[in-house]
Amino acid sequence: MTNVAIIGASGYVGGELLRLLLHHPHVRITAVTSEQSAGKPVHTLFPNLRGHDLFFEALNSAEVAARADVMFLALPHTKSAEPAGVFLNAGRKVIDLSADFRLKNRETYETWYKTVHPSPDLLATAVYGLPEQHREQIRAATLVASPGCYPTAAVLSLLPLATRGLLDGRIIVDAKSGISGAGRSPALPYHFPEANESLEAYQLGSHRHIPEIEQALGVAVIFTPHLVPMTRGIFSTAYAQLTKTLTTDELTALYRDFYKAEPFVRVLDVQQSPNPRHTRGSNFCDVSAFFDERSGMAILMAALDNLVKGAAGQAIQAFNLMQGLPETAGLDDTGLYP
């Protein structure tokens, strides 16, 4: 059994980490931190976890490091770097779900996040935690930067083409997210009367996931995110010019071959669209590919649960690799239906 700590566990991603790790066959949760909820049972914030004898505590990094071997950091951006350094210096492994270590270039991070990077010396150490792209590096890592939800969907929809050098020019990514992607803190745009029966784009040309997608794929991206009135889910549609003409059947065959050994990527049949409803609660990402002969453009789609494959589940997938465990351990549940 591996002792793990969840740092900053009061948000939706922290709740998913708790839900999944409580049933992981190789994990013992030894610390769950929240500054505002210290001393309270976890079920006061997550009623679905009632019956589990866990309590939030305030973070004392040195003390928590003495009780856990692996740390999951579910803290806000810019807040992970300091405790990550303490844990790494104590010989612990760290999986960070914030954006603090995703971007390898310090200047890029500071441009997009409008702040000085708190621990630039750790950027070279961090491994981008997308198993389908960096599996072997994750196995050997002590610091993993878990990808964002939008980048996970966008990159998985385009990775077979990028890897084979088939992307020609700029890519357009149009993506929709459920409201849980905005976090748990109350805000007017996410209030039910405001968000229900509504659909709008936001952060046009300025979303912080743009450089993350571009770094992973090595191409320029036009990215437009949208907020849609569902609780969970990401749906991404990418439009790409290719270096050669492929039929839809050939594209689908290419995707099936690329992802044939991947436990959590499901390539759908020709003309099938992914649906985030079919991945809800699971670590799966469903992808499909279509070639529009009229325009000469490929249309690449992906759907996933933003809180699982887009966050907590993917972090646990990386944890399994780091610990030499079966990659699917604790993650083999199918999605909920209906």
Write 326-333 long-range contacts (CB < 8 A, 24+). Answer: 327/131, 327/263, 328/263, 328/264, 329/24, 329/25, 329/26, 330/20, 330/21, 330/23, 330/24, 330/25, 330/26, 330/27, 331/20, 331/264, 331/283, 333/281, 333/282, 333/283
User: Is the preceding omega at residue 326 within 30 degrees of 0, hence cis?
Assistant: no
Q: Summarize pLDDT for 166-181 with one digit per residue, the tens.
A: 999 889 999 999 999 9
Residue 179 burial (C-beta neighbours within 10 Å; 0-12, 13-18, 19+): buried
Residue 189 has pLDDT above 90, yes or no: no
Residue type, 182: A
Residue 99 has pLDDT above 90, yes or no: yes
DSSP annotation of 96: E
Residue 126 has pLDDT above 90, yes or no: yes
The CATH topology of domain 2-125 is Rossmann fold (3.40.50)
Q: Summarize pLDDT for 228-277 with one digit per residue, the tens.
A: 999 999 999 999 999 999 999 999 999 999 999 999 999 999 999 999 99
Contact 290, 298 (CB under 8 A): yes
Cα angle for residues 168, 202, 11 (degrees, 5° grid) = 105
Whether residue 149 lies in the annotated active site: yes
The pLDDT mean for the chain works out to 97
What percentage of the chain reaches a pLDDT higher than 90? 94
Mean pLDDT, rounded, for 126-153: 99
Residue type, 123: L
Do the domains 149-305 and 2-125 match in fold?
Answer: no
Contact 200, 227 (CB under 8 A): yes
pTM, whole model, 2 decimals?
A: 0.97
Contact 129, 318 (CB under 8 A): yes
Mean pLDDT, rounded, for 284-293: 98
Residue 163 has pLDDT above 90, yes or no: yes
Non-local (6+) Cβ contacts of 154 within 8 A are 173, 175, 209, 213, 221, 223, 236, 238, 302
DSSP β-bridge partners for residue 57: 33
The structural domains of the chain, with segments of one domain joined by +, span: 2-125, 149-305
Place of tokens 């803290």: 75
The CATH topology of domain 149-305 is Dihydrodipicolinate Reductase; domain 2 (3.30.360)
Non-local (6+) Cβ contacts of 302 within 8 A are 153, 154, 156, 157, 234, 235, 236, 274, 285, 286, 287
Sorting pLDDT into bands at 50, 70 and 90, what band is 41?
A: very high
242/219 Cα distance (integer angstroms): 12
Query: Rounded to an integer, what is the distance from CA 137 to the centroid of its chain?
Result: 17
Q: Are strands 234-241 and 265-267 parallel, antiparallel or unpaired?
A: unpaired
CA 238 → CA 225, 245, 260, distances in Å?
12, 17, 21
Contact 7, 71 (CB under 8 A): yes
Pick the catalytic residue from 54, 70, 149, 303.
149
Whole-number pLDDT of residue 191: 87
Contact 59, 68 (CB under 8 A): no
